[in-house]
Amino acid sequence: MDVSAQYIDFAAYGYLTLAGAVLGLDRVAFMQSLVSRPLFVSLIVGWLAGDAETGVACGLLLELIWLAKLPVGGSVPPDDTTAAVVAVASALLAPQQWSVAASAALGVVASMPFAYLGRRFDLAARKRNTLLVDRARAELQSGSTKGLARYCRQGVLNFFIAGALAVSLSLFMARALVLAALNYHPEALEGGMEIMAVLIPVIGAGSFLVALPGWRCRTAFGVGVAGSAAGLATGLATGLAGLKASLPLFFGKLHGAGK
C-alpha cells in the first residue's frame, strides 16, 4: 500500500489511524512492551507508507527524545505513538529533493504539538475509566459480578477510541501545518530542518542524562561518546551505509520510492 502519494486519501488515513490506535494500546492497556515505542511505530508506519527509510529516520530521532519520557510513577507522558505516526506521515510531505534527515526532522518537529494533543486524549480516556471503576463498584454492591469483564473491555476500548481520535485529528492538522510551512518558505525550512536533524539527537541524549544520575553514569556517557567517535574515525561503526544496505532486505523499498 502506498499512502504517501495520496496522503489525503481517506483509506490511507484509516490505515494510519488504525495502526496508531492498535499499537497505542500497548502504552497502557495491553502489554506495555516496546511495540508502542516511536522507533517501532515509525518503522511499521514507514513500511505501511512504502518508505521504510524515512520511517526509521523519524523513529531514531523520536526515540531519543522520548527516552527521557517514560511513564514513571503517576506521570502521563506526551503520546509518543501519535507523535510517531504523525512524524512519518508529515516527513513524507517533504519535497523529494530533501535529504532523509531533513524530511525526518520536519516530521518530528511537526509531531511535537500533537504528542500533547494525544496526551489530552489519553488523560480523557483515563478519566472515563475511573468512572468505570465507580460503576463496577456499584454493581458489586448490588451483588452482581457479571459486569467486571465488560468494564475491563470497555476500558481498553476507551483507550483505543482515544488513540484513534488523537491520531486521526493530528494527521489532519499536521498535514495543514506542514503544507503551510512548506508553501511559506521551503528553502528556509529545509535549512532549518537540516540543523534540527543535528540538534534533535543532542536534545534527546541531554534530556535523558537527567534520568542517569551519578558520576558513574556521567563517566559512562563520556566513554560512550569517545568510543563512538573513535569507532567512527577508524571505520568500526559502519554508519548509514550499513542501514541503507540492509533496509531493502526487510522492506524492499527505499526513500523516495513511495513519493
Partner 1 sequence: MQTLGFVRALEPVLATRYPEEEERAGALLRYMEFFNTHPILASAVLGAIVRHEAQGEVELSEKTVKMLMGPFGGMGDSFFWGALKPLFILIALAAVQQGQLWVAVAMVVGFALVNVISRVCLLNLGISLGRRVVVSVQRLGLLAWAQRIKVLAALLTGWVMVVALAQSPAAHWGIGVFSLAAAATFLALVVAWGARREVDPLWMVILCSLLAVGGSVLI
For the purposes of burial, counting CB atoms within 10 Å of the CB of 215, is it exposed (0-12), middle (13-18) or buried (19 or more)? exposed
Query: Which 110-149 positions form the footprint of partner 1 (CB under 8 A)?
Result: 112-113, 115-116, 126, 129-130, 132-133, 136-137, 139-145, 148-149
Query: Which 52-91 positions form the footprint of partner 1 (CB under 8 A)?
Result: 56, 59-61, 63-65, 67-74, 78
Unique residue bearing C-alpha cell 527505499: 254
253 binds partner 1 per the rule CB under 8 A: no
241 binds partner 1 per the rule CB under 8 A: yes
239 binds partner 1 per the rule CB under 8 A: yes
Query: Which 7-26 positions form the footprint of partner 1 (CB under 8 A)?
Result: none
CB of 146 to partner 1, least distance (A): 8
Q: Which of 18, 124, 160, 208 binds partner 1 (CB under 8 A)?
A: 208
Of 5 and 218, the one with the shorter C-beta distance to partner 1 is 218
CB of 122 to partner 1, least distance (A): 12
252 binds partner 1 per the rule CB under 8 A: no
Of 6 and 228, the one with the shorter C-beta distance to partner 1 is 228
CB of 60 to partner 1, least distance (A): 6
CB of 14 to partner 1, least distance (A): 25
CB of 6 to partner 1, least distance (A): 27
Contact 4, 55 (CB under 8 A): no
CB of 79 to partner 1, least distance (A): 11
The region of 4-12, 16-24, 84-92, 99-107 touching partner 1 under the rule CB under 8 A is: 99-107
